[in-house]
């Protein structure tokens, strides 16, 4: 089995459409996650390591498979509408029939495996918005397109939020907001979006948020007021990050995670567990590798053969930055604990499959990329803004 897998990867090393800088920047991130969730004391306790290694292999195979096919069919309205409807149905059925896990009804269980539909829903939303703004970028100054695109995102947001998964619901909002901004929305309409968001949040706080969700936000404002209750996770996380100091405690010697003071150290708080063992130097390396990943995605996106490819790549960037920022922010006590993973590092198959599927699509699009001059790229990305400015002025 492993010989066939290795032969599969060797054959794909010759594929020119793969961005190998991006690929080899991701591998250390995957390794960082594996090392952090490994038990060096008790070999039988490597449950998360073993399953994560399996998910990594499956995700890499998926990445190369998708990159080998022509994904031009994803630009078809019928295909995207079908994907959208399927995800909506799955999320709706899960909301009605699913069982709560840690306060959220967001998982589908198959024997010993669990799948979180909100992860592929992010990728579907990026594709839907890329298609929508690709066809209507000339008319983006019309607020109608902001409302219609917001409706797509709101359906996902509402279904995921009602499941109790506030973290992924927020990521959905950021994906929509980010793609709205790069599509060329006017500042006046952007201000209206922020005002509308403020009003919506106020209404959610007063009539929708459950007590435990309010408690998480209040803990963010006053994190030390209830360190034995709602603030326990955030408090232990900040201790773990701070105790790492410059060079860390060493691999396998993180007391907060290894002694289980830090809950969910393999998923929600994997950054804190990593920082405790690797220290500031390790965290700096982690940030650098993630910067390289974002840089390479941007390079590939900006060389897309059409606005659809460009917008899709930018959507991936927005998704990765949102997940990374929220995860790190809640691990160091700057943001509320929302249960978000960090890309490529946290344990879990759903997010890994989604991330590598998105990158596989990007690599497939790279086949038709164009080596344009940087000035041409800049002009193309700013052309929509210029048209909007012209309409507003007139």
* DSSP assignment string, 123-174: HHHHHHHHHHHHHHGGGTTSHHHHHHHHHHHHHHHHHHHHTT-HHHHHHHHH
Distance CA 228, CA 244 (A): 22
pLDDT at 220 (0 to 100): 62
Q: pTM, whole model, 2 decimals? A: 0.83
pLDDT at 210 (0 to 100): 78
pLDDT at 211 (0 to 100): 80
pLDDT at 100 (0 to 100): 59
Distance CA 203, CA 205 (A): 5
pLDDT at 107 (0 to 100): 66
Q: What does the domain layout of the chain look like in residue ranges? A: 18-393
pLDDT (tens digit per residue) in 36-70: 887 554 554 577 888 899 999 999 999 999 998 88
Type and span of the H or E element at 348: none
- Tokens 């994560």 map to which residue? 52
User: If 0-12 CB within 10 Å is exposed, 13-18 middle and 19+ buried, where does residue 158 land?
Assistant: middle
pLDDT at 356 (0 to 100): 96
What's the count of helices (H) and strands (E) in the chain, helices before strands? 15, 2
Q: How far, CA to CA in Å, does 63 sit from each of 108, 119, 357?
A: 23, 16, 6
Cα-only R_g, the chain: 21
Residue closest to 48 by CA, chosen among 35, 57, 58: 35
Distance CA 381, CA 384 (A): 7
Q: Which residues of the chain have pLDDT under 50?
A: 41, 44, 372-378, 380-382, 384-389, 391-394
pLDDT at 322 (0 to 100): 94
Residue closest to 25 by CA, chosen among 320, 338, 249, 332: 320
Residue closest to 271 by CA, chosen among 237, 232, 230, 236: 237
SS3 366: helix
Residues 6+ away with beta carbon under 8 Å from 149: 129, 132, 133, 176, 179, 180
pLDDT at 258 (0 to 100): 73
pLDDT at 299 (0 to 100): 92
pLDDT at 286 (0 to 100): 95
pLDDT at 383 (0 to 100): 52
């Amino acid at each position: 089995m492993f010989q066939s897998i290795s032969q599969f990867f060797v054959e794909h090393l010759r594929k020119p459409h793969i961005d190998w800088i991006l690929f080899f920047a991701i591998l250390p991130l995957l390794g960082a996650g594996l090392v952090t969730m490994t038990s060096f004391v008790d070999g039988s306790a490597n449950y998360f390591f073993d399953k994560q290694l399996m998910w990594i292999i499956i995700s890499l195979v998926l990445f190369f498979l998708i990159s080998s096919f022509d994904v031009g069919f994803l630009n078809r309205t019928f295909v995207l509408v079908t994907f959208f409807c399927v995800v909506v149905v799955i999320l709706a059925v899960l909301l009605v029939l699913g069982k709560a896990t840690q306060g959220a009804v967001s998982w589908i269980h198959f024997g010993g495996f669990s799948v979180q539909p909100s992860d592929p829903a992010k990728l579907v939303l990026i594709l839907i918005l890329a298609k929508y703004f690709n066809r209507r970028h000339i008319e983006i100054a019309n607020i109608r397109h902001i409302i219609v695109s917001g409706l797509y995102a709101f359906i996902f947001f509402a279904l995921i939020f009602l499941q109790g998964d506030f973290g992924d619901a927020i990521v959905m909002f950021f994906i929509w907001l980010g793609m709205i901004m790069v599509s060329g929305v006017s500042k006046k309409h952007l201000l209206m979006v922020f005002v509308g968001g403020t009003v919506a949040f106020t209404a959610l706080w007063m009539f929708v948020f459950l007590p435990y969700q309010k408690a998480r936000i209040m803990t963010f404002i006053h994190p030390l007021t209830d360190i034995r209750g709602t603030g326990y996770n955030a408090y232990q996380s900040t201790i773990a990050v701070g105790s790492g100091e410059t060079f860390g405690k060493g691999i396998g010697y993180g007391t907060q995670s290894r002694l289980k003071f830090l809950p969910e150290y393999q998923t929600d708080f994997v950054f804190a567990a990593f920082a405790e063992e690797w220290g500031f130097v390790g965290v700096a390396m982690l940030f650098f590798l993630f910067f390289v990943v974002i840089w390479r995605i941007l390079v590939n996106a900006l060389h897309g053969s059409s606005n659809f490819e460009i917008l899709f790549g930018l959507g991936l960037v927005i998704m990765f930055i949102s997940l990374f920022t929220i995860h790190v922010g809640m691990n160091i006590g700057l943001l509320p604990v929302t249960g978000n993973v960090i890309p490529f590092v946290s344990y879990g198959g759903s997010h890994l499959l989604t991330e590598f599927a998105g990158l596989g699509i990007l690599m497939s699009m790279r086949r038709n990329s164009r080596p344009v001059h940087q000035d041409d790229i800049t002009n193309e990305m700013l052309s929509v803004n210029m048209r909007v400015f012209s309409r507003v002025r007139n």
